[in-house]
């Protein structure tokens, strides 16, 4: 039976961590872009502002003529495809591990499918959480992924220099058959609140618990529907980071691409809307009798006639300049998105000690390679966490391996790409040099302005070398 909860308690259970509130807007944008044109249209004025004094009908028509060029989703799918062209493997053949390989989350998703989904979410949000749960009648725990936007509040303690979670709250969406009609599925919004063991003001142990809260309609109050004991001193949750800003904090690695995509969405909508008027121009008339002025309908299926032989209609042509400028702007944004989408695959050169160079060759890995390794480490630690929770055997050197022998983009290929962008007038000379230095194509000691001056001087010198000497005029040296 659901427990009656005060309005204050119901509201506070959904309260968000201040750091979560900072990260949420960018996550929302990325998730909406990943949803495609329909999701962006559903977001309406959030990402496509309404113009001043624009009528609702006009805005709706403009929105329906807006189509998303999904550079972000294409980039994420391309990146995701590289490490998962082969199956995810483990180096332990224990029965419970084999069960997880076949069905990781209790919903039929294999280890490869589940890990691929985890990788994609981390790529979108910058981090991802995993939890393990014991399911009655199943020989192995289930591993669940919790996307970063789901886990909205947390508390932790610092123990021996390590941050240890003591409380988390995350959301789930469940679909269950209607009690009266099993053919009808109902949507249930759930909050799981997990609190680890603690002590009260008198140093007396207080056992933890798992609370389940439900909201049947968005906006209504939350109802506590279940409470269970949780006799552990820590929260069994692991977090994998692609961009580690701080504890439980990350920045989406594709954030710049997401905002470039938003820029393209808004400009593309303006472009499509402007084309409607540019194709026909503005119709204006001279000498049209006043009684006929309000009855003129311009269109291919209509004809206008006037009693006055001097009356006429004309079309004001906008010309191609504004349309060409708009089209070029969209093409520039598309190339920018392509460039940003390729950056994680670029081989990066970083400083490494002699020992690090001997142990590993990480100093020439791309970001994508690093993210694959981060996911592998997360899944390895999650299996060990599952073994600890359920008291199951696992090898000391247990490892989850994700294919990482795909090729990165070399510095030479990166240099050619930047040169193409420069020749196409997409980026400036300074940007080429700055980006090439970041990617290890050029030395950090090179100065863009000095190189520009040197290039200009070389150009002048080259021209002078090709100018033939002037023959003195007759009698000039006499």
Higher pLDDT, 444 or 163: 163
Report the sign of the C-alpha dihedral through residues 446, 449, 419, 428, in that order. positive
Is residue 71's pLDDT more than 70? yes
pLDDT score at 362: 47
Task: Say if residue 123 is exposed, middle or buried (CB neighbours under 10 Å; 0-12, 13-18, 19+).
Answer: buried
**Residue ranges with strand state E in 73-161:** 89-90, 127-133, 142-147, 151-159
How many angstroms separate the CA atoms of 45 and 75, rounded? Answer: 25
Secondary structure letter of residue 470 according to DSSP = P
Mean of all residue pLDDT scores within the chain:
85
- Cβ count within 10 A of residue 250: 21
Task: Write out the H or E segment, with its range, that includes residue 245.
Answer: strand 244-246
- Cβ count within 10 A of residue 211: 18
How many angstroms separate the CA atoms of 348 and 409, rounded? Answer: 9
Higher pLDDT, 439 or 419: 419
Q: Mean per-residue pLDDT for 272-287?
A: 74
With H, G, I as helix, E, B as strand and everything else as coil, classify residue 43. helix
The answer to whether the beta carbons of residues 109 and 103 sit under 8 Å apart is yes
pLDDT score at 99: 96
How many angstroms separate the CA atoms of 364 and 345, rounded? Answer: 11
Is residue 463's pLDDT more than 60? no
pLDDT score at 121: 98
Q: What are phi and psi of 266, to 5 degrees?
A: -70, -45
Task: Write out the H or E segment, with its range, that includes residue 27.
Answer: helix 18-34
Burial track 311-340 (b if 16+ CB lie within 10 A, e otherwise):
eeeeeeeeeeeeeeebeebbebbbbbbbbb
Question: Which residues, other chains included, contact 38 with Cβ-Cβ below 8 Å and sequence gap of 6+?
Answer: none
Stated pTM of the model: 0.78
Quick one: which of 84, 78, 28, 26 has its CA closest to 344?
Answer: 78
The answer to whether the beta carbons of residues 33 and 258 sit under 8 Å apart is yes
Q: CA of 443: how far to CAs of 56, 260, 331, in Å? A: 55, 29, 31
How many angstroms separate the CA atoms of 376 and 379, rounded? Answer: 5
pLDDT digits (tens, 9 = 90+) for 135-157: 888 999 999 999 999 999 999 99
Least confident of 15-24, 36-45, 133-142, 371-380: 133-142
Task: Output the DSSP codes for 283-315.
Answer: EEEES--HHHHTT---STT-----SSTT-EEEE
pLDDT score at 90: 97
Q: What are phi and psi of 133, to 5 degrees?
A: -140, 145
Q: Mean per-residue pLDDT for 219-244?
A: 92
Is residue 476's pLDDT more than 60? no
Per the structure block, which two tokens stand in for 270?
A: 């303006």
Task: Output the DSSP codes for 401-460.
Answer: E----PPPBPHHHHHHHHHHHHHTTSS-HHHHHHHHHHTTSS-TT--HHHHHHHHHHHHH
pLDDT score at 282: 67
pLDDT digits (tens, 9 = 90+) for 301-316: 666 667 777 777 777 6
Considering just the CA atoms, what is the radius of gyration of the chain in Å? 31
Task: Output the DSSP codes for 207-227.
Answer: -EEEEEEEESSTTSPPEEEEE
The answer to whether the beta carbons of residues 130 and 377 sit under 8 Å apart is no
The percentage of the chain sitting over the pLDDT mark of 90, rounded to a whole number, equals 56
How many angstroms separate the CA atoms of 414 and 435, rounded? Answer: 9
Is residue 263's pLDDT more than 80? yes
Q: How far apart are the first and last CA of the chain?
A: 119
Least confident of 41-45, 319-323, 333-337: 319-323
Least confident of 37-41, 234-238, 257-261: 234-238
pLDDT digits (tens, 9 = 90+) for 103-123: 999 999 999 999 999 999 999
Please, which residues bridge with residue 315 across strands?
A: 283
Is residue 468's pLDDT more than 70? no
The answer to whether the beta carbons of residues 6 and 223 sit under 8 Å apart is no
**Residue ranges with strand state E in 39-161:** 89-90, 127-133, 142-147, 151-159
The percentage of the chain sitting over the pLDDT mark of 70, rounded to a whole number, equals 82
How many angstroms separate the CA atoms of 194 and 233, rounded? Answer: 11
Per the structure block, which two tokens stand in for 371?
A: 């993210």
Task: Say if residue 261 is exposed, middle or buried (CB neighbours under 10 Å; 0-12, 13-18, 19+).
Answer: buried
With H, G, I as helix, E, B as strand and everything else as coil, classify residue 59. helix
Is residue 453's pLDDT more than 80? yes
């Amino acid at each position: 039976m659901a427990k009656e909860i005060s309005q204050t308690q119901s509201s506070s259970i959904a309260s968000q961590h201040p750091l979560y509130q900072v990260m949420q807007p960018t996550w929302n944008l990325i998730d909406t872009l990943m949803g495609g044109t329909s999701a962006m249209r559903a977001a309406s004025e959030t990402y496509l502002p309404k113009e001043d004094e624009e009528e609702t009908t006009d805005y709706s028509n403009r929105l329906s003529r807006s189509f998303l060029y999904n550079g972000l989703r294409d980039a994420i799918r391309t990146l995701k495809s590289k490490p998962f062209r082969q199956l995810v493997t483990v180096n332990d053949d224990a029965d419970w591990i084999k069960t997880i390989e076949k069905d990781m989350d209790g919903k039929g998703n294999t280890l490869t499918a589940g890990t691929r989904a985890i990788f994609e979410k981390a790529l979108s949000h910058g981090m991802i959480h995993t939890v393990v749960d014991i399911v009655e009648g199943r020989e192995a725990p289930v591993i669940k992924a919790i996307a970063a936007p789901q886990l909205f509040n947390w508390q932790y303690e610092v123990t021996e220099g390590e941050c240890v979670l003591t409380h988390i709250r995350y959301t789930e969406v469940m679909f269950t058959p209607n009690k009266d009609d099993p053919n009808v599925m109902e949507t249930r919004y759930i909050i799981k609140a997990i609190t680890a063991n603690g002590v009260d003001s008198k140093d007396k142990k207080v056992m933890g618990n798992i609370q389940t809260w439900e909201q049947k309609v968005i906006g209504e109050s939350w109802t506590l529907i279940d409470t269970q004991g949780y006799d552990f001193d820590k929260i069994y949750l692991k977090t994998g980071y692609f961009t580690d800003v701080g504890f439980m904090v990350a920045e989406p690695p594709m954030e710049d691409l997401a905002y470039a995509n938003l820029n393209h969405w808004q400009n593309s909508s303006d472009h499509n809307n402007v084309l409607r008027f540019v194709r026909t121009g503005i119709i204006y008339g001279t000498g049209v009798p006043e009684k006929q002025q309000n009855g003129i309908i311009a269109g291919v299926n209509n004809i206008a006639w006037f009693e006055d032989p001097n009356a006429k209609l004309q079309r004001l042509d906008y010309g191609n300049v504004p349309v060409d400028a708009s089209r070029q702007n969209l093409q520039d944004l598309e190339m920018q998105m392509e460039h940003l989408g390729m950056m994680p695959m670029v081989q990066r050169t970083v400083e490494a000690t002699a020992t690090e160079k001997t142990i590993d060759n990480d100093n020439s890995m791309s970001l994508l390679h690093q993210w694959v390794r981060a996911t592998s480490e997360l899944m390895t630690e999650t299996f060990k966490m599952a073994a600890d929770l359920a008291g199951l055997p696992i090898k000391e050197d247990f490892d989850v391996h994700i294919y990482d022998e795909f090729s990165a983009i070399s510095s030479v290929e990166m240099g050619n790409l930047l040169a193409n962008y420069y020749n196409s007038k997409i980026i400036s000379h300074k940007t080429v040099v700055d980006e090439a230095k970041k990617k290890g194509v050029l030395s950090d000691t090179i100065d863009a302005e000095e190189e520009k001056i040197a290039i200009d001087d070389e150009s002048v010198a080259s021209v002078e070398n090709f100018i033939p000497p002037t023959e003195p005029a007759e009698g000039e040296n006499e």
